[in-house]
């Protein structure tokens, strides 16, 4: 006897055997048991969720020799013929292959005639949205005044393409995508009946790969059984699906948490040697970030079985929530751009490097806005660049008059423990992201040893969101080594905040660079003899 694929062997024969779709089964069962039958039904939903299966069970319930009910006997000649696909009064039509109006009219010519074998003549039209406009018009007339012995069951994956005139004459049922738990439970049941060994991780991978479709899940199961030689192992299933081992994705997340660009590139190189699909790697990384975000926001959340629970919870502690959200958003955008990259690996590398490039950093940790350059009287202006006549010009500092390095540039700054010196105190907290911005936009207002009073600029009140306040308070407590609290007063302060000081320093450096460029002999000569001009906004101070 030839092998029968699992999707056909385990196709449900009764409403009770269907997985999911309880809302549709309940409505159809009540209609059958209470003799409240409509003449046309429309089943919508993605592929492999049970539209055709429901239609066949419904046809069997209508024509069972034991009578109309929601529980056909399954043993009479009508039930057996419907199961075997040879019942003369069940006409299954693929609308994609019968789009012409002449073919539709030919199909509907026999509608007025009584059934040959059964109680009802059932027309099952699959992918009905593929009908042409004229075909829908031909069908519409029959749907308006159907004979009592005819039932129409229409199925489609795209109900938006079905005319509203047809929709209004049908009872519409939207079949839901199946959850991973529902698919995994059915696969486990089938494997038990087939006496095939498996592990939970392999089922989790297959359930995720099915993407809400039971038929896809059974097809993947067939493939996995053949790939594994009659048994299911997570490593084999992962290799078949092209998924990446969890430790690789966790290592990428660890490198992101540690701001380790070199580590990211090393891990990507290892993945490239294994010929992984980087589009799938991006999806897996996004799925991991999703689990991490849920762990951070919901204390009792349990990660999905497809992930290492301990690893997810560890990463939830090491990654800042705002960083996770930023990485997820960049990943979603970059996923669409992978196909535009010169090759998948370089696109994936740039995606992860972009996550690091846009990661919020503490003031003074690499941003020009956090650096201050003092220009003593009589000293040369700082280096600067500009565009003159469309060409870049660089103003170099005179080598014989190099500025003396400041102590802060040569010695490691000690942690200031006096909150009244707020500029230095805040710089030593080593905060990042929104918490750093919150600290930099505050000014010292008072300190009594237990409570720190800070004035927050009204224009920056939106920074008091999420865990920014908590991270700032934790940083202050860590430095002071005591339990303190913060009292925020939202009002304009007469004192300069760290952010204001950074902006002032940057403006001073910009003005010095522009003055240096304007006084440069080369620039003046170009302006006098070649009618060149310095392009406005092109002068930038150099570090």
What is the per-residue pLDDT across 122-160, written as a single tens digit (0 to 9) for each? 999 999 999 888 888 888 888 888 899 999 999 999 999
* Among 63-67, 169-173, 399-403, 424-428, the least confident range: 399-403
CB atoms within 10 A of CB 223: 15
518 confidence band (pLDDT: 50, 70, 90): confident
214 confidence band (pLDDT: 50, 70, 90): very high
| Collapsed DSSP state (helix, strand, coil) of residue 383 | coil
230 confidence band (pLDDT: 50, 70, 90): confident
Q: Find out whether 472 and 432 touch, Cβ atoms under 8 Å.
A: no
Beta bridge partners of 95: none
Residue 42 has phi, psi (to 5 degrees) of -125, 120
- The enclosing H or E element of 482 equals none
SS (H, E, C) 267-320: HHHHHHHCCCCHHHHHHHHHHHHHHHHHHHHCCCCCCCCCCCHHHHHHHHHHCC
pLDDT at 365 (0 to 100): 40
Q: How far is CA 204 from CA 157, 181, 200, 201, 282, in A?
A: 26, 9, 6, 5, 19
53 confidence band (pLDDT: 50, 70, 90): very high
Q: Which residue has the higher pLDDT, 399 or 302?
A: 302
Candidates 34, 41, 35; CA nearest to 56 is 41
- The enclosing H or E element of 76 equals none
Q: Find out whether 82 and 56 touch, Cβ atoms under 8 Å.
A: yes
| Collapsed DSSP state (helix, strand, coil) of residue 445 | strand
To 5 degrees, how large is the angle CA 524–CA 510–CA 409? Answer: 120
Residue 323 has phi, psi (to 5 degrees) of -70, -40
Q: How far is CA 379 from CA 375, 399, 401, 543, in A?
A: 6, 12, 7, 16
| Collapsed DSSP state (helix, strand, coil) of residue 36 | coil
pLDDT at 63 (0 to 100): 93
Average pLDDT over residues 444-467: 83
Q: Which residue has the higher pLDDT, 378 or 473?
A: 473
Beta bridge partners of 453: 446, 487
> pLDDT tens digits, residue range 287-304?
999 999 999 988 788 887
Candidates 266, 275, 271; CA nearest to 285 is 271
Residue 168 has phi, psi (to 5 degrees) of -70, -15
Both tokens of 487, joined, read 């009292």
Q: Where are the beta strands (DSSP E) in 137-231?
A: 150-156, 171-174
| Collapsed DSSP state (helix, strand, coil) of residue 17 | helix
Say whether pLDDT at 367 is over 60. no
Average pLDDT over residues 447-451: 85
Say whether pLDDT at 26 is over 90. yes
Both tokens of 428, joined, read 């030593």
Q: How far is CA 355 from CA 136, 167, 249, 265, 334, in A?
A: 51, 47, 15, 13, 10
363 confidence band (pLDDT: 50, 70, 90): very low
* Among 129-143, 200-214, 349-363, 485-499, the least confident range: 349-363
Please, what sign has the CA dihedral across residues 134, 140, 145, 151?
positive
Q: Distance (Å, rounded) from C-alpha 487 to C-alpha 450?
A: 11
Say whether pLDDT at 399 is over 60. no
Say whether pLDDT at 386 is over 70. no
| Collapsed DSSP state (helix, strand, coil) of residue 408 | helix
pLDDT at 461 (0 to 100): 80
Average pLDDT over residues 65-87: 91
End-to-end distance of the chain based on CA atoms, in angstroms?
A: 80
34 confidence band (pLDDT: 50, 70, 90): very high
List Cβ neighbours of 528 (8 Å cut-off, separation of 6 or more): none
List Cβ neighbours of 209 (8 Å cut-off, separation of 6 or more): 216, 217, 220, 241, 243
pLDDT at 389 (0 to 100): 47
> pLDDT tens digits, residue range 164-207?
999 999 999 999 999 888 999 999 999 999 999 888 888 888 88
In the DSSP assignment, the letter for residue 176 is: P
Q: Which residue has the higher pLDDT, 386 or 30?
A: 30
Residues comprising the chain, all counted: 543
* Among 5-14, 462-471, 489-498, the least confident range: 462-471
Q: Distance (Å, rounded) from C-alpha 86 to C-alpha 83?
A: 8
Say whether pLDDT at 374 is over 80. no
Say whether pLDDT at 61 is over 90. yes
370 confidence band (pLDDT: 50, 70, 90): very low
Q: Distance (Å, rounded) from C-alpha 208 to C-alpha 281?
A: 14
> pLDDT tens digits, residue range 234-245?
888 877 776 655
The mean of the pLDDT values for the chain is: 82
Average pLDDT over residues 209-235: 88
459 confidence band (pLDDT: 50, 70, 90): confident
Say whether pLDDT at 30 is over 90. yes
């Amino acid at each position: 006897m030839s092998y029968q694929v699992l999707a056909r062997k385990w196709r449900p024969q009764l409403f009770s055997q269907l997985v999911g779709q309880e809302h549709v089964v309940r409505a159809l069962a009540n209609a059958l048991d209470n003799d409240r039958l409509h003449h046309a039904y429309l089943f919508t939903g993605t592929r492999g969720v049970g539209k055709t299966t429901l239609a066949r069970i419904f046809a069997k319930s209508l024509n069972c020799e034991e009578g109309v009910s929601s529980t056909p006997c399954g043993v009479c000649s009508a039930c057996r013929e419907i199961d075997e696909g040879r019942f003369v009064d069940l006409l299954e039509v693929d609308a994609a292959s019968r789009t012409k109006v002449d073919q539709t009219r030919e199909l509907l010519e026999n509608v007025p005639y009584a059934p040959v074998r059964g109680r009802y003549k059932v027309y099952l039209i699959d992918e009905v949205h593929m009908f042409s406009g004229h075909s829908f018009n031909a069908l519409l007339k029959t749907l308006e005044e159907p004979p009592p012995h005819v039932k129409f069951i229409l199925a489609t994956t795209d109900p938006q393409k079905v005319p509203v005139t047809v929709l209004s004459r049908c009872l519409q049922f939207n079949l839901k995508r199946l959850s991973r738990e529902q698919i995994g439970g059915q696969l486990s049941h089938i494997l038990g009946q087939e006496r095939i060994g498996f592990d939970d991780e392999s089922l989790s991978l297959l359930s995720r790969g099915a993407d809400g479709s039971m038929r896809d899940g059974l097809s993947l199961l067939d493939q996995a059984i053949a790939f594994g030689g009659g048994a299911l192992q997570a490593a084999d299933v992962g290799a078949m699906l092209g998924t990446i081992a969890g430790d690789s994705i966790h290592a990428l997340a660890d490198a992101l948490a540690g701001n380790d660009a070199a580590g990211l590139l090393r891990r990507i190189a290892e993945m490239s040697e294994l010929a992984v699909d980087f589009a799938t790697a991006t999806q897996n990384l996004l799925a991991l970030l999703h689990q991490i975000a849920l762990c951070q926001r919901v204390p009792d959340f349990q990660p999905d079985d497809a992930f290492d629970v301990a690893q997810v919870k560890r990463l939830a502690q090491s990654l800042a929530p705002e960083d996770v959200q930023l990485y997820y958003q960049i990943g979603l955008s970059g996923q669409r751009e992978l196909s535009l990259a010169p090759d998948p690996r370089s696109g994936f590398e740039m995606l992860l490097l972009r996550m690091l490039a846009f990661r919020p950093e503490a003031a003074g940790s690499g941003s020009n806005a956090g650096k201050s350059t003092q220009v003593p009287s009589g000293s040369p202006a700082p280096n600067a660049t500009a565009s003159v006549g469309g060409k870049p010009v660089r103003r170099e500092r005179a080598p014989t008059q190099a500025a003396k390095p400041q102590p802060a540039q040569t010695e490691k700054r000690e942690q200031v423990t006096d909150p009244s010196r707020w500029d230095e105190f805040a710089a030593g907290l080593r905060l990042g992201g929104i918490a750093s911005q919150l600290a930099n936009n505050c000014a010292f207002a008072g300190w009594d040893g237990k409570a720190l009073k800070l004035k927050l600029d009204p224009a920056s009140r939106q920074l008091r969101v999420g865990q920014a306040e908590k991270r700032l308070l934790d940083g202050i407590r860590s430095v002071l080594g005591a339990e303190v609290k913060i009292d925020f007063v939202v009002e304009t302060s007469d004192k300069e905040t760290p952010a204001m000081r950074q902006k002032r320093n940057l403006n001073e450096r910009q003005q010095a660079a522009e003055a240096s460029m304007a006084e440069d002999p080369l620039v003046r000569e170009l302006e006098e003899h070649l009618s060149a001009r310095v392009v406005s906004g092109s002068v930038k101070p150099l570090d």
